[in-house]
Structure 1
C-alpha cells in the first residue's frame, strides 16, 4: 500500500532531537520519512552528495522545513545553505511545505526587519544573517509559505497532526463531491442525447433508423460501464469488437485463452500491484459482423461486462 512520504529538512547537529521526535511521530502515523541519517536517500557516484537530497525531494509528498539558529553547510550550487536549497527544491516542485522556525530566531527576525540596513547589528539567535534573509525571502512568496514558530517538537507534531487530519477530511469531502459531479455529467450526456433526438425529429432527416442508431451508439451503456470498471479518465468510444479489443489492450489487459467459453464469454486479465484483474465480456453484445449491438439503458445488463479483482498469492512453497 502506498504511504505518504515526508522529507524532514533541517540542519542536523543543533536540531537532531527535533528530527528524532518527528521521525517517531511520522512513523507512528504509518507514513514514511525521508531522512539522511536513516539512509533514506540513495547516493550515486556522478553528482555531488547534496544533489541526491534535492533529487529525492521529487519522490516526497510533503516537506517539513525546520529553521533554527545554525546556517549549516553552504550549497555547491547556489548562494543558499543545503537545507535552504531543500526548501527551494520542494517549493519549485509544488510540494506541500510546512515551515517551522525556532521561537527565539523568529522573534529576532522581527528585530532584523527593523535594523537590516544597519551592518553593525549583532544577532544573538543566529550564527549567520543569511538565515534572517532567507526567512524574509520565504515570507514574500505568493503561496505555500505558512510559517509557524516552535519551542519544542511537540509544538510541531501537534500542528502537523491537525493539518493532516484536515487534509484527510477534505479528501473525503472531495470524494463525495466527485460522485455528485459524475451524476451531473450523466445528466448532461442524457440531455445532449435528447437534444439530438429533438433536432433529428424536427428536421425529419432521411435514413431515420441509421440516424437514431448513431445517436444511441454514441451513448451506449457498454461504453459507460467499461469506463467506470477500468477507471478510464477520458471518453470511451468503440463501435465493433476490434476497437473494443484495442481499448482494453491499451489498458494492459491480455486475453486468457485457458479460461473462456468460445461461444459466449471471453476473459481478459491484468496483473498489477499484487492483484489480478479479470475482465469478463459476453460476446453476445456484438452481432455476427462483430459490430456492437444497440442497447438502451433499460435493455442493458451489467453482467454483460464484469470485473473481478483477486489478490496474487505471493507465498512461496518453502
Structure 2
C-alpha cells in the first residue's frame, strides 16, 4: 500500500535530536520519513551527494523544513545557497506542501536584525553579534533564508519552536486539517460526479457539457452553481434537439428526392451536392453568434440563418418548406405532422434562452467540428 513520503530538510549536526524525533513521529502516522542520515536518500555513484538529496525531494509528498543557528554546507552546483536551501527551493518548484519551522531564538534574532537594518542600516546590523547563530559570518545568510520563506507568494507558513513538542503539536493540527480538506474535496468530487450523471441523462453524452462541469468543480460554488449548471444542461439539450430536427428534415429531403421515380433535374443535382453537415460546420461561428432574440419564431430563425425557406398555405392547411436555393424542391407538411417535430418547443426552451457558447457547443455536438 502506498503511503505519503515526508522529506525532512535541515542541517544535521545541530538538529540531530529534532530529526530523530521527527522520524519516529512520521512513522507513528504511518507515513514514510526521508532523512539523509538514515539511508533514505539514494546516492547515485555517478553524481554528487548534494544533487542526490535535491533529486530525492521530487519523490516525496510532504516537506518539513527546520532552520536553526547553522547555515550548513553550500550546495556544490548552487549560487551560494546551502544544501537545505536547495532542497527547499526544489520543494517550492514542485509545489509540494511545506511545513517550515525556525528555532525561536533564531527567529527573534532575525527580527532584531531587521529592526536594526531599518533604524541603523545593514552595515551596522551586520556587525552585531547574534548569540543564537553558530558562525556570525552566516547570520545574514540565515536571516535572508528565513525572509525568503516568509515572502514566498504561497506555501509560506512558518512557525517558531522552542522544543520538539511545539513541532509535533503544529504538525498534528496541520495534518489533521489537511486530511479534513481531502475529505471535503472528495465530497465535492462525488457531488460533481453525481451531477455529471444527471447531465449525461439530459444531454446524452458525458462530455457535451464538460466545461460546465469543470466550472462547478473548479469554483466549488455549491447549490446555486449546481442549479445554474442543471438549467444550462436543460437549455443545451433543447438546442441539440432543435438541430437534430434540422438534420432529420434534411435526411427526409434526401429520401424524397432520391427516389427512382423522381425525374433527374438540375435542382436534384444541386441537392445531391449539398452537404448539410459540411454546410453547418462552415457556419458554426456565424450561426452561434446570431442573436435569436431578434426573431419571432423558429421559421424566421432558420430563414435568416440561410437554411430553410417557409411558405404557409393556409387555404390548403399545409406548410411548404424548402432548402434556400432549392425552392423548386419543396416538402409539404400538414400542421399536425409539423407539430410532431420539436422545432417549436426546442426553439422556445433552448435557442431563445441560450448564449453563443451553448449554441456553438450544441452545433459542434450535432454536426462535428470544422
TM-score (ref. length: structure 2): 0.54
Task: Give the corresponding residue for 2:182.
Answer: 171
Can you list the C-alpha shifts for 1:148-206, whole angstroms capped at 9, x where unaligned? 00011111111111111111111111111111111222233333344323443467524
CA distance in 2, matches of 1:157, 1:145: 19
Q: How does 1:197-208 map to 2 (within 5 A)?
A: 197-201=241-245, 204-207=248-251
CA distance in 2, matches of 1:69, 1:174: 39
Provide the secondary structure at the position in 1 that maps to 2:192. helix
CA distance in 1, matches of 2:171, 2:32: 15
Contact 1:115–1:121 (Cα < 8 Å) also in 2: no
Q: Which has the larger radius of gyration?
A: 2
Provide the secondary structure at the position in 1 that maps to 2:101. strand
Consecutive aligned runs of 4 or more in structure 1 exceeding 6 Å deviation: none
CA distance in 1, matches of 2:247, 2:63: 61
Provide the secondary structure at the position in 2 that maps to 1:101. strand
CA distance in 2, matches of 1:55, 1:204: 60
Can you list the C-alpha shifts for 1:24-56, whole angstroms capped at 9, x where unaligned? 010011100001111001111221111000010
Can you list the C-alpha shifts for 1:11-35, whole angstroms capped at 9, x where unaligned? 1111100001110010011100001
RMSD: 1.6
Task: Give the corresponding residue for 1:43.
Answer: 43
Q: How does 1:57-206 map to 2 (within 5 A)?
A: 57-78=57-78, 79-116=80-117, 117=122, 118=124, 119-126=126-133, 127=135, 128-129=138-139, 130-193=141-204, 194-195=237-238, 196-201=240-245, 204-206=248-250
Task: Give the corresponding residue for 1:12.
Answer: 12
CA distance in 1, matches of 2:69, 2:4: 29
TM-score (ref. length: structure 1): 0.62
1:53 maps to 2:53: yes
Residue 108 of structure 1: CA displacement? 1.0
CA distance in 2, matches of 1:68, 1:155: 14
- Count of residues paired in the alignment: 208
CA distance in 1, matches of 2:50, 2:247: 70
CA distance in 2, matches of 1:152, 1:57: 26
CA distance in 1, matches of 2:197, 2:52: 47
1:31 maps to 2:31: yes
Q: Which has the higher strand share?
A: 1
Provide the secondary structure at the position in 1 that maps to 2:6. strand
Provide the secondary structure at the position in 1 that maps to 2:127. coil
For structure 1, list consecutive stretches of 5 or more residues without a partner in the other structure: 209-318
Can you list the C-alpha shifts for 1:241-264, whole angstroms capped at 9, x where unaligned? xxxxxxxxxxxxxxxxxxxxxxxx
CA distance in 1, matches of 2:44, 2:243: 65
Q: How does 1:141-290 map to 2 (within 5 A)?
A: 141-193=152-204, 194-195=237-238, 196-201=240-245, 204-207=248-251
Provide the secondary structure at the position in 2 that maps to 1:133. helix
CA distance in 2, matches of 1:89, 1:37: 20
C-alpha change, 1:197 and 1:12, in structure 2 (3 Å) is same
CA distance in 2, matches of 1:27, 1:17: 16
Contact 1:69–1:125 (Cα < 8 Å) also in 2: yes
For structure 2, list consecutive stretches of 5 or more residues without a partner in the other structure: 205-236, 253-370
Provide the secondary structure at the position in 2 that maps to 1:41. coil
